[in-house]
Chain A
Amino acid sequence: MLILTCPNCGITAEETEFHAGGEAHLTRFGPGASDDDFEQYLFMRDNPKGVHFERWRHVYGCGKWFHAARDTMTLEIFGTYTAQTSTVPQNIIDKITDRRPDWQPPETA
């Protein structure tokens, strides 16, 4: 069972206080979007073995959403940051690069 630090209220708590919300940094496609774009947005998700950016909600705590950078293999957590971010913050990228020198930031990030 993971521990996560909510960047909104500063609490480090066990996973049961949180709710996982899937991949982070998706771009919404609405009316007028092509079928391909809409399919990508609604259904297609990365499932990397390694660094993953994901959404969590501190559901039993402050109720706020946030993002986490996590290694899906080792479960190492590189950092968390608020959900009101469209791109991965530089300090998180630096931390990951420090820990995973071969890692390439995703183009969308």
Chain B
Amino acid sequence: MSEPISALNGATYTQGIAEISALDPIGMISIRGDLAAGYLKKPLKKIAGVDIPAMRGINMIGGKGIAWMSPDELLLICPYADVAANLEVLHKSIGSNHALAVNVSDARAVFRLKGAHIREVLAKLAPVDTSPDAFAPGMIRRTRLAQVPAAFWMVDGDTAELVCFRSVAQYVFDLLKTAAQPGSEVKYHSH
């Protein structure tokens, strides 16, 4: 079996006001169900090492984590290679209860944004208040990026990660490059 490749296979952009890189495949499992149920909480804690976050939260530790997507939806983030095993753990725990866990790793593209101006780069494309007092590490925002759905979160003060559908990875990469073009600092969130 061939090694899986991400939509843009590691493309990067470093000439602009933010560094943008397309990440290698990341494991992502979409979970629908009663988020308070023990048959979800327990295996998720075991797999991701973090608790289920509160509304619009994301808990990440060392490449693993859980993002709150809606009142009955979570996104489990894990190493790509662990997806099958993690799905098995989840399915075992869910048993005959009503919940859904499905692999969406290949359906997504993930980008990392780095630099002092990433909050501005995001605010050029998404109708979202990305100022530090409104959007801090630990929060995930599902929204639109120009004309496509996307979700992003701050990893730390100058790092953000963004996930979109795989088919529009090139579009999103081109958008981010445009928004990060040299000389386009807004100096709004950063001075």
Contact A63 B70 (CB under 8 A): yes
Contact A8 B70 (CB under 8 A): yes
The interface residues of chain B, by DSSP majority, are classed as strand
What is the CA–CA distance of A13 and B98 in the complex, to the nearest angstrom? 32
For the complex formed, measure the closest distance between the CB of A102 and the CB atoms of chain B, giving whole angstroms.
Answer: 36
- Encoded as 1 (CB less than 8 Å from any B CB) or 0, chain A from 61 to 86 comes to 11110000000000000000000000
For the complex formed, measure the closest distance between the CB of A29 and the CB atoms of chain B, giving whole angstroms.
Answer: 29
B contact residues around A16 at 8 Å (CB): 127, 144
Contact B56 A10 (CB under 8 A): yes
Contact A14 B70 (CB under 8 A): no
- Encoded as 1 (CB less than 8 Å from any A CB) or 0, chain B from 159 to 177 comes to 0000000000000000000
A contact residues around B149 at 8 Å (CB): 60
A contact residues around B64 at 8 Å (CB): none
- Encoded as 1 (CB less than 8 Å from any B CB) or 0, chain A from 13 to 39 comes to 110110000000000000000000000
What is the CA–CA distance of A60 and B127 in the complex, to the nearest angstrom? 11
What is the CA–CA distance of A37 and B56 in the complex, to the nearest angstrom? 41
Question: A11 an interface residue at 8 Å Cβ cutoff?
Answer: yes
Number of A-B contacts (CB under 8 A): 35
How many B residues have CB within 8 A of the partner chain?
13
Question: B69 an interface residue at 8 Å Cβ cutoff?
Answer: yes
A contact residues around B69 at 8 Å (CB): 62
Q: Which of A11, A14, A62 contacts B71 (CB 8 A)?
A: A62
For the complex formed, measure the closest distance between the CB of A62 and the CB atoms of chain B, giving whole angstroms.
Answer: 4
How many A residues have CB within 8 A of the partner chain?
13
Question: A9 an interface residue at 8 Å Cβ cutoff?
Answer: yes
Given A17-B127, A17-B143, A60-B144: A8 and B56 within 8 A (CB)?
no
In the complex, 21 of the A-B residue pairs with CB atoms within 8 angstroms, ordered by the A residue number, are A8-B70, A8-B71, A9-B55, A9-B70, A9-B71, A11-B56, A11-B141, A13-B127, A13-B128, A13-B143, A14-B127, A16-B127, A16-B144, A17-B143, A17-B144, A60-B142, A60-B143, A62-B69, A62-B70, A62-B71, A63-B70
Q: B residues near A, CB below 8 A? A: 55-56, 69-71, 73, 127-128, 141-144, 149
Q: A residues near B, CB below 8 A? A: 8-11, 13-14, 16-17, 60-64
Instruction: A8-B70, A62-B142 given; name 20 further pairs at CB < 8 Å.
Output: A9-B55, A9-B56, A10-B55, A11-B141, A13-B127, A13-B128, A14-B127, A16-B127, A17-B127, A17-B143, A60-B143, A60-B144, A60-B149, A61-B142, A61-B143, A62-B70, A62-B71, A63-B70, A63-B73, A64-B71
